[in-house]
Amino acid sequence: MAEYGEWTRKGATLSDVTALKEYGVDYTFIVNGISAGKLEYREGNMQGNPWLRVLRGQLEQLITEKFGAEYLVEQNRQTELRVIKKEMTTVKKRLKELEARKTELEVVLIKTED
């Protein structure tokens, strides 16, 4: 069972939707894990939409049992790659904005020097 305070620790829980994005497991996989007694869960409800929250460590252990450790490593790599690509896109966008602002300021400064 879960250790004391594990439910409140940052990053220790994830929703069924996040589990699909990060590990490629669907709602039925999580429900089957709950039915088997291998996953603890809490129910949530956001604007009338129900969702399940599970402990990351227990989910990773169940994934390892069902699919093997290599599957989990591969999914973690893919998730990290998605995060990196997203961050790179954000940084590139911000760089373009800064370059445009720099150009504007240079034009204004050149005009004021004349």
Domains of the chain, by residue range, sit at: 1-67, 68-114
Per the model's pLDDT, the better-predicted residue between 63 and 46 turns out to be 63
Whether pTM > 0.85 for this model: the answer is no
State residue 113's pLDDT score.
79
Nearest alpha-carbon partner for 20 in 12, 10, 9, 31: 31
Q: Per residue in 70-114, pLDDT tens? A: 999 999 999 999 999 999 999 999 999 999 999 999 999 988 876
Which residue's entry shows tokens 């069972």?
Answer: 1
Tell me if 53 sits within 8 A of 15, measured CB to CB. Answer: yes
State residue 81's pLDDT score.
97
Rg (CA), the chain: 22
State residue 114's pLDDT score.
67
Residue type, 76: N
State residue 5's pLDDT score.
80
Tell me if 30 sits within 8 A of 36, measured CB to CB. Answer: no
| Cβ-Cβ contacts under 8 Å for 9 (sequence gap 6 or more) | none
Q: E strand or H helix at 75, and its extent? A: helix 69-113
Nearest alpha-carbon partner for 59 in 45, 50, 72, 46: 72
Mean pLDDT, the chain, whole residue set: 93
Q: Per residue in 4-22, pLDDT tens? A: 788 889 989 999 999 999 9
